Amino acid sequence: MKTFVQRIRSIPIFRTLRFRLASTFLLLLTFITIALGLVGTALLRSILAGQSEQALIDELAAIRGYIHFDESDGHPYWFADMSDPDEAAAVDRLQRAYVVAGEDGTIWYGTTGHAFDPMTNRSTILQDLKQIEATKTPIFKTIPGDDYGPYRVVCSILVDTVHHRNWYVALGRSLADNTQLLNRFRRYYFFLFTPVAILLCVLASWFSAGRALTALQAVEHAARDITGSNLGLQIPPRGANDELDRLIESFNRMSRRLKTSFDQIRQFSTDVSHELRTPLTAIQGQLEVALFTATRPEQLREAIENALQDVERLSNLVRALLLLSYSETGQLPIHRTRVDLSEMVVDLVEQFQIPAEAAGVHLTTPHSEIVHCDVDRTQMERVVTNLLSNALKYTAAGGSVKAWAEAAGEQARIVVEDSGIGIPASHLTHIFDRFYRVPDPNPEKGLGLGLSFVSSIVKSHGGEIHVTSEVGRGSKFTVTLPARAVTKVAVVASSTMETRI
């Protein structure tokens, strides 16, 4: 059973970012407006109460001037010039709610009426008199009053200095005006100002939240519109250098990266298909020719031999591609052990002596210091083997190839240097790309995968590979490895990774 809140939340518009932004702002404003209204009402009430008390104190001073005491019997009487309209009005105002009583609580003068009973109650008067004499300060109190609302009352003492007698005096002032003012303030504030402010705020926050999210929508549309054919789509930044611009910039960067990756994959697929097609076409051609034209067993044998060579090339290519893909995706298991790189290079140089001699190339290792490094021995042997086979392949008879390992501070280096044909500068940056081969009028068969494999193994060890080369003078490949390789590579169980390329 969905609760009411859950049901409300499941309505699409209530789940939008725009609604949430606007409603948060609105809730905050409503809360502040109501809090301000309550504080304002309380403040106004206290100001008005202060004003009423001040007016009562003034009136108390005035009544002292109008009430005199008879010299003979000491009885109080009103003394005012009623022909003076100002004085008559003042007396009239004072007499609206007042009480003058003796020390024994007997009412001498007083406003009559049920509403003023609390003022004329004898026991209350006696109690007030006691308190005033003790504290020497007037008493303020509020009585329910008549139909027009409550009264604020001040109680004090009139002193008859001739007869040394105290008289009780209480003056009341209607609070109807104050109540009316407060009610009016509340009405205007809560029923006019607050709804109008909230309405304006709803419109403004809805509009501004919408504007703020326009850029976000651009990102959303762009992401939605991306397909295989428009990868790399860019959203123009707004130039505000804010969070949204940073989001747009990140999106653009991601889009560019995706495009580069997709382009590489596309190029790779094209290259692979091309590489696979050539030997397949050759095999098909040879077998067809043999099938239709060969008459003698030697001819068939020769065709099968040629086809087998191409099949081997195909199978090498597939194996190399598999290894390369494992290596590049970090799935080639790397088992680090402490290896003396110099010893490893010397061993491999020895293994290459026979092909080197056959090619008439002088192959040596000039250095023999011990260089320890934590590497995967098999992988590192693949690196050196590839570099050595390239060096021999691209060095003409009479040339020389040198390979060695050396320590350089915290790092270890493996260097393979030859005096071969060299690599033109324009090709240097591409030779580590898959299937890249420097165009050669007399190209020796190669897949163009060796160096990309080398580079990915070196990277997975946390190292780097650099090449310097001069056409006609030779090339120098330098592999730099951190003495303690730090990069971790996901280990995937595999028992068929021993193929050398």
Ligand X SMILES: Nc1ncnc2c1ncn2[C@@H]1O[C@H](COP(=O)(O)OP(=O)(O)OP(=O)(O)O)[C@@H](O)[C@H]1O
Interface residue list for ligand X (CB under 6 A): 390-391, 394, 418, 420-423, 431, 436-438, 446-451, 475
Smallest gap, in angstroms, from Cβ of residue 379 to ligand X?
16
| 423 touches, from Mg ion, ligand X, none (C-beta below 5 to 8 Å by class) | ligand X
- Going by C-alpha positions, the residue among 222, 118, 135 that lies closest to residue 172 is 118
CB-based closest residue to Mg ion: 450
Q: Which is nearer to ligand X, 252 or 390 (CB)?
A: 390
Task: Kindly state the smallest distance separating residue 428's Cβ from ligand X, in Å.
Answer: 9
Among 138, 279, 420, 450, binds Mg ion (CB under 5 A): 450
Inter-residue long-range contacts of 445-451, CB under 8 Å, 24+ positions, other chains counted: 445/313, 446/393, 447/275, 447/316, 447/317, 447/320, 447/501, 449/317, 449/320, 449/321, 449/324, 449/501, 450/386, 450/389, 450/390, 450/501, 451/386, 451/390
Q: In what order do the strands lie in the sheet with 362-364?
A: 362-364, 400-408, 411-418, 474-482, 464-470
For Mg ion, the closer CB: 450 or 474? 450
For residue 99, the tally of other CB atoms under 10 A from its CB is 21
Residue with nearest beta carbon to ligand X: 450
**CA dist 433 → 258, 267, 390, 453 (Å):** 18, 11, 15, 9
* Interaction partner, residue 448 (Mg ion, ligand X, none; CB < 5-8 Å by kind): ligand X
Q: Which does 363 bind (CB under 5 to 8 A by kind): Mg ion, ligand X, none?
A: none
Q: Which is nearer to ligand X, 255 or 475 (CB)?
A: 475
Nearer to Mg ion, 172 or 450 (CB): 450
- Helices 17-66, 194-212: axis angle to 10 degrees equals 150
**Which of 20, 473 has the CB closer to ligand X?**
473
Binding partner of 399, given Mg ion, ligand X, none, CB within 5-8 angstroms per partner class: none
- At its nearest, how many Å lie between ligand X and the CB of residue 424? 9
Q: Which is nearer to Mg ion, 138 or 450 (CB)?
A: 450
Output phi, psi for 298, to 5 deg.
-65, -40
For 159-173, give one letter per residue: b (16+ CB within 10 A) or e: ebeeeeeebbbbbbb
| Nearer residue to Mg ion within complex by CB, 160 or 433 | 433
259 φ, ψ (degrees, to nearest 5): -60, -45
Find the helix packing angle between 243-293 and 214-225, rounded to 10°: 0
User: Token pair 């290519």 is at which residue?
Assistant: 317
Q: How far is the CB of 306 from Mg ion (least distance, A)?
A: 24
Question: What residues between 191 and 220 interact with Mg ion by CB under 5 A?
Answer: none
Closer residue to Mg ion in complex, CB, 153/447: 447
Q: From the list Mg ion, ligand X, none, which binds 462 (C-beta under 5 to 8 Å, kind-based)?
A: none
Q: What is the crossing angle of helices 450-460 and 377-393, to 10°?
A: 150
375: which 2 tokens?
A: 């590497």
Min CB(407)–ligand X separation in Å: 24
The sign one gets for the Cα dihedral 451, 456, 461, 467 is: positive
Residue 306 C-beta: closest distance to ligand X, Å? 20
Q: Which does 67 bind (CB under 5 to 8 A by kind): Mg ion, ligand X, none?
A: none
Rounded to the nearest 10°, the torsion over CA 116, 121, 127, 128 is 30
**What Å distances lie between residue 73 and 68, 156, 176, 183, 437, CA to CA?**
12, 22, 39, 49, 136
154 residue type, one letter? V
475 binds Mg ion (CB under 5 A): no
What amino acid occupies position 19? F
Smallest separation, CB 264 to ligand X (Å): 16
The residue (of 449 and 481) whose beta carbon lies closer to ligand X is: 449
Q: Helices 17-66 and 85-94 sit at what angle, rounded to 10 degrees?
A: 110
Q: Which partner in Mg ion, ligand X, none is near 303 (CB below 5 to 8 A by kind)?
A: none
**DSSP conformational letter for 484:** B
Residue 450 CB, nearest approach to Mg ion (Å): 3
Pick what 271 binds: Mg ion, ligand X, none; C-beta below 5 to 8 Å, kind-dependent.
Answer: none
| Smallest gap from residue 476 Cβ to ligand X (A) | 9
Cβ 453 to ligand X shortest distance, Å: 8
By CB neighbour count within 10 A (0-12 exposed, 13-18 middle, 19+ buried), where does 395 fall? buried
The partner in contact with residue 447, picked from Mg ion, ligand X, none with C-beta cut-offs of 5 to 8 angstroms by kind, is: ligand X
- Distance of alpha carbon 225 from alpha carbon 248, whole angstroms: 15
Q: For residues 441 and 449, give the distance between their C-alpha atoms in angstroms, rounded to a whole number.
A: 20
Residue 488 DSSP code: -
CB of 433 to Mg ion, least distance (A): 13
436 interacts with, out of Mg ion, ligand X, none, CB within 5 to 8 A per kind: ligand X
* Binding range to Mg ion, per CB under 5 A, among 29-37, 62-70, 247-255, 449-457: 449-457
Nearest residue (CB) to ligand X, 233 versus 428: 428
- What is the distance between the terminal CA atoms of the chain, rounded to a whole angstrom? 65
Binding mask 379-408 for Mg ion (x = CB under 5 A): -----------x------------------
The distance of closest approach from Cβ of residue 440 to Mg ion in the complex, given in angstroms and rounded to an integer, is: 13
Question: Of 63-71, 251-259, 287-295, 443-451, which segment contacts Mg ion by CB under 5 A?
Answer: 443-451
Identify which of residues 94 and 391 has a Cβ nearer to ligand X in the complex.
391
Give the interface with Mg ion as residue ranges (CB under 5 A): 390, 450
